[in-house]
């Protein structure tokens, strides 16, 4: 069984980046996904909006934090993770968040400029210290609405 999802929506807040004690980047942002449809037999439009918390890790986290802002329209692919806890009143709470594997701009209503960023392989030292060259990956650094 696969736990994979793809969502297209708008950021509800600026991405917030943090670092773990180990130095791993972690970025979170809110995503609003709106579904719009026309009622059968009428000219009226209806819509429903769902809100998701999205979590990104490592290089993806840093690139998202540098590239996106509130209102950006993006496509997110990743897995759903459910978290449960008990609040101070003893009530069980839960939420579902998306752990992103990929985040990119939606080009339906915008254009984007793509540039390359250096990415180091796990355990790879800085090239200034005499190690091998970094690997380069495509990342989005700007999207124009």
Q: Return the C-alpha torsion angle 49, 15, 106, 120, nearest 10.
A: -140
Write the pLDDT tens digit of every residue in 48-85.
Answer: 999 999 999 999 999 999 999 999 999 999 999 998 99
Cα–Cα dist 50/33, whole Å: 5
Band of pLDDT at residue 132, cut at 50, 70 and 90: very low
Once rounded to an integer, what is the mean pLDDT over residues 88-94? Answer: 92
pLDDT at 111: 86
Contacts of 97 (CB under 8 A, 6+ apart): 52, 53, 54, 55, 80, 81, 83
Q: Could you tell me which CATH number the domain at 5-106 has? A: 2.40.50.140
Q: Where are the domains of the chain?
A: 5-106
Contact 25, 55 (CB under 8 A): no
The percent of residues in the chain predicted with pLDDT above 70, rounded, is: 81
């Amino acid at each position: 069984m696969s736990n994979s999802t793809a969502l297209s929506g708008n950021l509800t807040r600026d991405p917030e980046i943090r670092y773990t004690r180990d130095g791993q980047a972690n970025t979170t942002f809110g995503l609003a996904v709106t579904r719009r449809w026309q009622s059968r037999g009428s000219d009226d439009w209806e819509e429903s909006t769902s809100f998701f918390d999205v979590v990104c890790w490592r290089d993806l986290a840093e690139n998202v934090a540098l590239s996106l802002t509130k209102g950006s329209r993006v496509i997110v692919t990743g897995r759903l993770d459910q978290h449960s806890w008990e609040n101070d009143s003893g009530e069980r709470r839960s939420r579902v968040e998306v752990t992103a594997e990929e985040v990119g701009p939606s080009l339906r209503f915008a254009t984007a400029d793509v540039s390359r960023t250096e990415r180091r392989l796990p355990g790879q030292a800085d090239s200034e210290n005499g190690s091998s060259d970094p690997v380069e990956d495509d990342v989005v650094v700007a999207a124009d609405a």
